[in-house]
Amino acid sequence: MQTIDRIVQLIISAFLIVGVYQFYFWCQRNHVIAPREFRLPIDDKIPYRPRWVWIYSFLYYPVIVAINWTVTSPRHFLYVAISYMLLLGFQMAFFMLIPVATPMEWRTCNVGRGRSERFLAFVQKFDARSNSFPSMHTSVAMLTALHLCPVLGAWAFVFPVLIALSCLFTKQHYVVDLPVGALLGWGVFGLFKLIY
């Protein structure tokens, strides 16, 4: 592919990422029913480790953008972008129809000690407790890994594993959110393969 195509793709990717989050935030304010909790005993056994916020936020976006270097044509890029928009549609349906929120006490454990907790508090200022189920971070990471698999092989799955762990250690998600998110990303990739 030509350099100009890569540059255009990067610009479109940035707009898609910023645009997608507007829909994500919109879902936080427009639930059909009141959010519930999916807390299991195992959730309380997982320790709070705020340093994982750096994986949660700063590994997440660069790896998604890295797909731009693996697409083989503008058509391929278009269908990859469509797969992410399709995933967003499914996520929005869950967030609005089956809203799930993490416990308030998971937010109050953050008392702003050090850079990690201050950055996590900044993330949580925008990212409400709702939109927990299924984990959008995990579903997007799984979809991304599957798109990267032809280039990276099995190593691509290190990405969703790290993202899933960061979701738990930052107390942004329940355990149950993760496998459902991963399955959703896998299912959308299956649809991508059918249409591409």
Does some domain include residue 47? no
**How far from each other are the two terminal CA atoms of the chain, in whole angstroms?**
18
Distance separating alpha carbons of residues 72 and 176, to the nearest angstrom: 35
What does pLDDT average to over the chain? 92
What is the token pair recorded at 38? Answer: 């999916």
Does some domain include residue 135? yes
Rounded percentage of the chain residues whose pLDDT exceeds 70: 100
- pLDDT tier at 29, thresholds 50, 70, 90: confident
Distance separating alpha carbons of residues 157 and 141, to the nearest angstrom: 9
Does some domain include residue 48? no
Q: 21 pLDDT exceeds 80?
A: no
Write the CB contacts of 41 (distance below 8 Å, at least 6 apart in sequence).
none
Write the CB contacts of 132 (distance below 8 Å, at least 6 apart in sequence).
35, 38, 100, 101, 102, 172, 173, 174, 177
Domain that holds residue 175: 3-33+62-195
The answer to whether the predicted template modeling score (pTM) of the entire model surpasses 0.85 is yes
Does some domain include residue 162? yes
Residue 7: the pLDDT is: 87
pLDDT one-digit tens code per residue, 58-91: 999 899 999 998 999 989 999 999 999 999 999 9
Average pLDDT, stretch 88-110?
92
Cβ–Cβ under 8 Å, residues 10 and 74 = no
Does some domain include residue 54? no
Of 101, 124, 111, the closest CA to residue 53 belongs to 124
Does some domain include residue 8? yes
Does some domain include residue 110? yes
Q: How many helices (H) and strands (E) does the chain have?
A: 10, 0
Question: How many domains does the chain contain in total?
Answer: 1
Does some domain include residue 56? no
Residue 184: the pLDDT is: 98
- pLDDT tier at 18, thresholds 50, 70, 90: confident
Distance separating alpha carbons of residues 181 and 70, to the nearest angstrom: 23
